[in-house]
Amino acid sequence: MFKNILVHIPTERSVRPVVDAAVSLATARRSHLDAIAIGYESMSAIGMVVEGGGAAVAAVMGVEHDRALERANAAISVFEIEAKLANIAYGARTLAAIPAEAEETMGELARLYDLTVVLQPEASHSSYDNIIPQAILFNSGGPMLMVPYIHKGQLDARHVGIAWDGSRLAARALRDALPFLTAAHAVTVIAVNEDRHDDNEARSDQIVGHLARRDIKARAERLTADRENVHGTILSIAADIDIGLLVMGGYGHSRLRERILGGVTRGIFESMTVPVLMSH
């Protein structure tokens, strides 16, 4: 598993966190790694052309396309240098597209891979790169590894934490993360407010037993938290016990066909401090 990995290389933000994490993962798993960088074409520039007719619009579109592709090529070149140095099997692709097309393209492409690596959105940095992780989470049909924009160096998955709430999405994420879990030195099942749901059949201690039958030694960490701070509690314990990779279900709901992140998922998107494997 994880023999075919895709990484989205941002063109408007730092590429180093995802490049380092993805290349180190491909090296450790002996995986093929494909990278794609998409330069975003600005429609506002085209809208400013009020004279000159179709020829003027075509000229502006051509300039926008070339500029977008130039940004994509610059971003992908950083990846290619590191991939060659690591001597991994890889592919590289660049595109120029308007943001809506980029979002759809990434969601469709990710369906062909075992895992897709993306950079965490950064609210303080306005960029179309920020929309890609959510598109992949809801549209790829597979797991997504989101790397914090503050991340430095290789991916460290020696200690894996599982955010467990007994739900279908948590179970899907756990199964998707099995390649990481079987290779980890330590696994911690993090259950927040589990005692408030006594009717939950899939409890953290049962998950520990389930993993033991796969020869994965895990322990449960049961915590309580206010509903508004569940994500903060998960990240806090991850920092306290030195978790290098967090696994969780990616929650959302559909409103007029637009995917909206659930509360805990949104909190992790905004505040994550370690790489997170999410499945929807």
- Residues 233-242: tens digit of each pLDDT: 999 999 999 9
- Residues 169-213: tens digit of each pLDDT: 999 999 999 999 999 999 999 999 887 655 666 799 999 999 999
- Residue 20 neighbours by CB distance under 10 Å: 17
- Residues 9-47: tens digit of each pLDDT: 999 999 999 999 999 999 999 999 999 999 998 766 555
Strand, helix or coil at 222? strand
What's 42's DSSP letter? Answer: P
pLDDT at position 264, please?
A: 85
Distance separating alpha carbons of residues 70 and 40, to the nearest angstrom: 10
Q: For residue 261, what pLDDT band results from cuts at 50, 70 and 90?
A: confident
What is the pLDDT of the chain when averaged over all its residues? 90
Q: Is 78 a residue whose pLDDT tops 90?
A: yes
**What pTM, to 2 d.p., does this model score?**
0.90
pLDDT at position 275, please?
A: 96
β partners of residue 254: 259
Distance separating alpha carbons of residues 162 and 243, to the nearest angstrom: 10
224 vs 110: which has the higher pLDDT: 110
Distance separating alpha carbons of residues 185 and 99, to the nearest angstrom: 41
The helix-helix angle for 53-86 and 16-29 (nearest 10°) equals 50
- Residues 120-167: tens digit of each pLDDT: 999 888 899 999 999 999 999 999 999 999 999 999 999 999 999 888
Q: Which of 32-36, 81-85, 98-102 has the lowest mean pLDDT?
A: 98-102
By C-alpha distance, which of 173, 131, 148, 171 is closest to 21? 148
